[in-house]
Structure 1
Amino acid sequence: MQLTVQNLLVLQITGSAAATGLSVSVQAAPALLVSLAGGAAVDRWPRKLTALVSQALLGVVALVTAVLVATDRLDLTVLLVLAAVTGTIATVDGPACALLGNDLVPTEDVPSAIGVGSLVHSAGRLAGTALAGVAVGFLGTAAAYAANGLSFLFVAAVIPFLRPAAGAVKYVIPAQRGAKAAARIPAQRGAKASAQRAAAPDMTVRQGLAYFLRRPRLVALAGVTGISAIFGRNYGLTLAVLVTGPLAAGAGAFGTVSTVLAVGGILGAVLGARLRRPSVRLVAALAATGALLQAAAGLSPSIAVLLVLVLPMAVVESVSDTAGTTVLQTDPPAHMRGRVLGVWGSISTGWGLAGPPLLGLLMELAGARGALVIGGLVIAGSLGAGYLLRQRGTATPVPVRTGERDGTAPQPELSTAA
């Protein structure tokens, strides 16, 4: 709701669509620049405290904005500063709330919890946009900001009463541990000191980035999601041009398409909540299926055919997103998950900023139909090629040296990085 009202407010102040886009970029920029640090903070600090403070701060920012709007003291510069502050707090709030939610259920139910979270998020986007229009129309912009601020404070008030579920993976770094505790360890001597140094968690940003890059599953997931984000997914742009251009329909028809997309996203989140052990291979297969449906949608001769294709396309891609989020939040060890989500926040923001301009350029060259078809085929072709290369790599026989069959050959040392 707040983002919708913010866009309306920028338009009201400036009358410029470019300024509206700038405000969105300013709010997203911190995720590109400081998400790594935000993820490290989530790993270092207790999650309940971190989520409580971040939710409260977001509420304070919203309420301050409401006061400034009500007193007519808000200009574009102040609004952009507040948007940047909101984006910065969100780099900590996002992973903190996600991982805290996982702590509230047994380990085996984490995929379902993530799916339910995706369902709530999708429903919240629909309800928030509608509530923003109602609030601004009947009560004014200040009231909409105030309502959102109170909602943050409500969540912050509930967090202290949450209790981890029995069987949940609990990992909390107390405030006294970390750098100070690790600094005391080198002063000790002997085998005990060596064991303590080995056990001390490395809470640095660099360690989180290194872990992400050394983990093939996470790198592959980043590749799958990145190519899908760049050549697809931006349906607010591609389908809007397709509906109002080649299909010669109006804004009302695009509204119907958007509604079907949202409904498909909710249905996909419900189905995704049933996944127990999703894999990167499943994410890639679903992304390729959605890409082929996207290509078919680009060839739609009418709105009716487009609607038939858009629903399963949205369902498949929502399940793929839920499966990818589950892998992302369950694959790393508990003490690394905040930093892994921080790395993910940076790279996914990069895709989000790069995708629309590149897709817009493709639309300029190939038109709306061409962009959907080419984008879908590029996604599906790339993922298919990646799968074949991986299969070829695993099928390549490893040469057996003399003596290995009977165990007399010298054995290589095992790498600790394995």
Structure 2
Amino acid sequence: MSSSPPASPAPSAAVHTPDPDASAPDASRSPWRSLKYRSMRWWSVANFVSNAGTWMQLTVQNLLVLQITGSAAATGLSMSVQAAPALLMSIVGGAAVDRWPRKLTAAVSQALLGAIAFTTAVLVACGGLNLTVLMGLAAVTGVIATVDGPACALLGNDLVPPQDVPSAIGVGSLVHSAGRLAGAALGGVTVGFLGTAAAYAANGVSFLFVASVIPFLRPAHGAVRGAVAELPAPAGATVGEDMTVRQGLAFFMRRPRLVALAGITGISAVFGRNYNLTLVVLVTGPLAGSAGAFGTVSTVLAVGGIIGAVLGARLRKPSVRLVGTLAAAGGLLQVLAGLSPTFAVLLVLVLPMAVVESVSDTAGTTVLQTDPPAHLRGRVLGVWGSISTAWGLGGPPALGLLMELTGARGALIGGGLLIAGSIGGGFLLRGRRGTAPVLFRTDAPQPALGTAA
């Protein structure tokens, strides 16, 4: 983000005015319970518009790069340039989210992303977009995203009480899926009638819509927020000293629950979940299916993801143990998928694989966003952003190499056994140790939101 942090935190009383419509927390397990809060409803609408705009742009972005450069390698390079800041700067972006007023940070970052989309639209319309400018815009987008991602994620959590965060995350997943479908459809229509620049302009409008909604959002009664001005610094330290990048990294590394979550998610991301790579080879290779058959698999995966998001939204206090159990179950289902004798058997297995993955994602995201103290959550998400980017970039090549050595069936079976075995071994080791987790010491208040791993 191009703006520099203020010397001292801005007052946040206006940010934390309670939502007059917020009712006292109840024991509802409805997946839609987060939508009873007016601000959460508006935030969901805004996210749908934003996701639709983003996918309108993404439908034509790779084609645009190919038109400009004529190189598939340049297309991959532009994606890497945009992802690189997350690998290197996410922890800094998370620290900025902890230090700055959250609503202002999210609104400004959305406005800046909108400005980049409008700039790209103008350059495309005028024929002034070349490879150098394209890479520059991709890099700037990646830098802003290191702040925008955690700011918007935590802002959404502010709108509901802690026990309804899983519902908010599940609803967000559904909104993302709906926005993706709408955006892809609208993107083709928009480009066909108005041209490529119109897709970028529409995305710019979607960002500005989100920025215009943010000032009117109000936190729910009982929501835990990370306002710097409301949090006391540890003994002997000022608030500014308590907001360092190093402290966020130290908290993450000394919190066994978060380290375990990173290990579970990482091994699952590298050796499983890359189904667009493993299943397409299995379907078109050993199972002798067509590209259309893999399209059917993709549809079933999408349906399973939606079902899983609804089930995950019913959770109230998910734990790392639940995430690990679901990930191990997903690994075993992956083994069975690798052993599938026919395409029909594979389809039967794909649906529960997607459901388990989606529920596990919702549970893990909830733990990640609610376990740390409120004033450290941005930095914890920043550390997570760097880690997840690393395994996101390294996973496909590692899995591709495994497929070269063992084939699609071998990669699915071996990867699934590795996931289930590693998680099972971790559970056994922790049970034998029988010691309580060592918590990172801080004098700042720590809400008891996460459950034991």
Shorter chain as denominator, the TM-score bin is 0.7 to 0.9
Match of 1:359 among 384, 399, 405: 399
Whether the aligned pair in 2 keeps the contact of 1:123 and 1:266 (CA below 8 Å) is no
Deviations 1:287-314 (A, max 9, x none): 0111111111122222222211111100
Deviations 1:323-347 (A, max 9, x none): 0000000000100000000000000
Q: Could you say which residue in structure 2 is the equivalent of 1:336?
A: 376
Q: Return the offset for 1:415.
A: 9.8
Q: Return the offset for 1:85.
A: 1.1
Task: Please give the residue correspondences for 1:248-287 in structure 2 after superposition, counting only pairs within 5 Å.
Answer: 248-287=288-327
Q: Distance in 1 between matches of 2:189 and 2:296?
A: 19
Q: Return the offset for 1:9.
A: 1.2
Deviations 1:31-80 (A, max 9, x none): 10100010000000000000000000111101111111111111222112
Whether the aligned pair in 1 keeps the contact of 2:403 and 2:411 (CA below 8 Å) is yes
Whether the aligned pair in 2 keeps the contact of 1:135 and 1:144 (CA below 8 Å) is yes
Match of 1:159 among 214, 227, 230: 214
Task: Please give the residue correspondences for 1:317-336 in structure 2 after superposition, counting only pairs within 5 Å.
Answer: 317-336=357-376
**RMSD across aligned C-alpha pairs, in angstroms?**
2.3
Q: Return the offset for 1:240.
A: 1.5
Q: Return the offset for 1:136.
A: 2.6
Q: Distance in 2 between matches of 1:265 and 1:142?
A: 32
Match for 1:338: what amino acid?
Answer: G
Whether the aligned pair in 1 keeps the contact of 2:255 and 2:440 (CA below 8 Å) is no
Paired residue secondary structure (1:197): coil
Match for 1:26: what amino acid?
Answer: V
Match for 2:211: what amino acid?
Answer: A
Paired residue secondary structure (2:242): coil
The structure-2 alpha-carbon separation of the partners of 1:118 and 1:64, relative to structure 1 and needing over 3 Å to count, comes to same
Percentage of identical aligned residues? 80
Task: Please give the residue correspondences for 1:3-18 in structure 2 after superposition, counting only pairs within 5 Å.
Answer: 3-18=58-73
Q: Distance in 1 between matches of 2:365 and 2:434?
A: 26
Q: Return the offset for 1:276.
A: 0.4
Structure 2 alignment gaps of length 5 or more: 1-54, 444-453
The structure-2 alpha-carbon separation of the partners of 1:46 and 1:134, relative to structure 1 and needing over 3 Å to count, comes to same
Deviations 1:102-148 (A, max 9, x none): 11112221221122112222333333333333333333211111111
Deviating more after overlay: 338-347 vs 304-313: 304-313
Q: Return the offset for 1:198.
A: 7.1
Match for 1:130: what amino acid?
Answer: A
Task: Please give the residue correspondences for 1:157-236 in structure 2 after superposition, counting only pairs within 5 Å.
Answer: 157-174=212-229, 195=235, 197=237, 202-236=242-276
Q: Distance in 1 between matches of 2:345 and 2:112?
A: 46
Q: Distance in 2 between matches of 1:155 and 1:71?
A: 27
Deviations 1:269-298 (A, max 9, x none): 111011001000000000011111111112
Q: Could you say which residue in structure 1 is the equivalent of 2:188?
A: 133
Deviating more after overlay: 352-361 vs 3-12: 3-12
Paired residue secondary structure (1:274): coil
Match of 1:384 among 415, 420, 424: 424
Match for 1:215: what amino acid?
Answer: R
Deviations 1:191-227 (A, max 9, x none): xxx9563777610111100010010000000000010
Whether the aligned pair in 2 keeps the contact of 1:126 and 1:262 (CA below 8 Å) is no
The structure-2 alpha-carbon separation of the partners of 1:63 and 1:388, relative to structure 1 and needing over 3 Å to count, comes to same
Instruction: Count residues with an aligned counterpart.
Output: 386
The structure-2 alpha-carbon separation of the partners of 1:58 and 1:417, relative to structure 1 and needing over 3 Å to count, comes to closer
Match of 1:82 among 128, 137, 150: 137
Whether the aligned pair in 2 keeps the contact of 1:119 and 1:266 (CA below 8 Å) is yes
Q: TM-score normalised to the size of structure 2?
A: 0.81
Structure 1 alignment gaps of length 5 or more: 183-193, 397-413
The structure-2 alpha-carbon separation of the partners of 1:383 and 1:135, relative to structure 1 and needing over 3 Å to count, comes to same
The structure-2 alpha-carbon separation of the partners of 1:416 and 1:87, relative to structure 1 and needing over 3 Å to count, comes to closer
Q: Distance in 1 between matches of 2:88 and 2:435?
A: 40
The structure-2 alpha-carbon separation of the partners of 1:12 and 1:198, relative to structure 1 and needing over 3 Å to count, comes to closer
Q: Distance in 2 between matches of 1:359 and 1:159?
A: 40
The structure-2 alpha-carbon separation of the partners of 1:195 and 1:283, relative to structure 1 and needing over 3 Å to count, comes to closer
